[in-house]
Amino acid sequence: MRYVDEFRDPVLIQKTAEEIRRLIDPNRHYRIMEVCGGHTFSIYRFGLQDLLPSNVELVHGPGCPVCVLPMGRVDGGLSLSENPRVILTAFGDMMRVPGRRGSPLELKARGADIRMVYSPLDALKLARENPDREVVFFAIGFETTAPSTALTLLRARALGVKNFSVFCNHVLIVPAIRAILDSPDMRLDAFIGPGHVSTVIGCRPYEFIARDYGKPVVISGFEPLDLLQSILMILRQLREGRAEVENQYKRAVPWEGNLPALRAMAEVFELRPYFEWRGLGFISQSALRLREEFAPWDAEVRFAVPGVRVTDPKAAQCGEVLKGVLKPPQCKLFGRECTPEYPIGALMVSSEGACAAYYHHVYLRQAAEGGTNG
């Protein structure tokens, strides 16, 4: 298949859903986690859960990079904007993430020089255009966005741009999955592997899930047929007693990953000893920092960034939703105090956050039909 339309073909979608219904054991309950926030968005957008048998449960994992960033790191980045010489830049989905004193957008409205960019190269360009200012890029994301940050830093070094730096918050998907697997309150049968991350790291890093934990993994694309095919592949593995890593998203994901991107990351980054994740706590070697030779472009070296731990609002149950323990509408604040217009928790900000996806594609539809379960 070559075109998006084919992956949204109603006939093929219904045929795949019927194959799933024929394949399952009606006496068994299946719990399958989609790690990627993009998959969560697609599941809610296309109503895929409604096509699945009731005993096939999709569990939403910590695959939204905006959502897993703890409030202390948000506050640390925003503290840089207090320096009148600093222009703080960030991706659009970071602009509304709440810190203790407000989101970047709210601080911007109060006078801080915080600007949205579409790529770290935009931030580097801004630094070259404003040689009398310090431009800091608030870097977030899994391995998907880390190569663009790495390549920008290599370019900054090559050009000798001294007024550009990066506040690095890139995190890694594999340690997060391992932490979920080791969690005593998490019972999962299989994983839908992340598509975007896998275009960079490939499929091999997930082999430990099948080998050490006996859980099938299928790397999936993001269209409705992609996801249903991936679920079908998982169910076949479970029925046959297999636990393997399979690649449904072959049109975009090479088994070995993107080698030039991986080389750029290896040149620029090294592992942090530990890093705090919202909802998952501290996970060892789960995030990246700049190597010592890139210290001139490291915001945490050049500026006094406070390393403060901040507890999320007690009523917001982001951690439980991130770990798949709760569904979005089971949070006490969902759809009431916490909405996309006035988010209290980070999961209500990004379109890939489980709460925002559920709110837009399920909650509002149910409200229009006369009732919600939120």
**Element housing 17 (H / E):** helix 10-23
- Helix, strand, coil share of the chain (percent; to 5): 45, 15, 35
* 98-122 pLDDT tens trace: 888 889 999 999 999 999 999 999 9
Q: Which has more confidence, 292 or 325?
A: 292
The answer to whether 346 touches 302, Cβ cutoff 8 Å, is no
Token pair in block for residue 255: 């088994």
Cβ neighbours, 10 Å, residue 81? 21
The answer to whether 95 touches 116, Cβ cutoff 8 Å, is yes
324: confidence class by pLDDT, cuts 50, 70, 90: confident
Domains of the chain, each with CATH number or no CATH: 1-312 (3.40.50.11740), 317-367 (no CATH)
Token pair in block for residue 333: 């604040």
Lowest mean pLDDT across 225-234, 317-326, 335-344: 317-326
Helix (H, G, I), strand (E, B) or coil at 242: coil
Question: Is residue 43's pLDDT more than 60?
Answer: yes
* 126-177 pLDDT tens trace: 999 999 999 999 999 999 999 999 999 999 999 999 999 999 999 999 999 9
64: confidence class by pLDDT, cuts 50, 70, 90: confident
Q: What whole-number distance in Å separates Cα of residue 47 and Cα of residue 147?
A: 33
374: confidence class by pLDDT, cuts 50, 70, 90: very low
Across all residues in the chain, what is the average pLDDT? 92
For residue 273, the number of C-alpha atoms closer than 13 Å in the C-beta half-sphere is 0
pLDDT of 345 reads 79
The answer to whether 16 touches 232, Cβ cutoff 8 Å, is yes
Q: Which has more confidence, 20 or 326?
A: 20
Lowest mean pLDDT across 152-166, 210-224, 245-259, 321-335: 321-335
* 68-86 pLDDT tens trace: 888 899 999 999 999 999 9
Question: Is residue 307's pLDDT more than 90?
Answer: no
The mean pLDDT value for 176-196 works out to: 91
Helix (H, G, I), strand (E, B) or coil at 135: strand
Question: Is residue 232's pLDDT more than 50?
Answer: yes
The answer to whether 325 touches 33, Cβ cutoff 8 Å, is no
pLDDT of 372 reads 58
369: confidence class by pLDDT, cuts 50, 70, 90: confident
The mean pLDDT value for 175-200 works out to: 92
What single DSSP character describes residue 361? I
pLDDT of 371 reads 62
Token pair in block for residue 225: 């047929």
What single DSSP character describes residue 360? I
Q: What whole-number distance in Å separates Cα of residue 270 and Cα of residue 289?
A: 6
- Taking every pair of Cα atoms in the chain, the longest distance, rounded to a whole number of angstroms, is 68
* 354-368 pLDDT tens trace: 999 999 999 888 888
Question: Is residue 279's pLDDT more than 80?
Answer: no
Helix (H, G, I), strand (E, B) or coil at 25: coil
The mean pLDDT value for 252-258 works out to: 97
The mean pLDDT value for 302-323 works out to: 79
pLDDT of 2 reads 60
Percent of the chain with pLDDT over 70: 97
- Using CA atoms, how far residue 201 sits from 173, 257, 260, 322, in Å, is 10, 5, 11, 22
The answer to whether 122 touches 116, Cβ cutoff 8 Å, is no
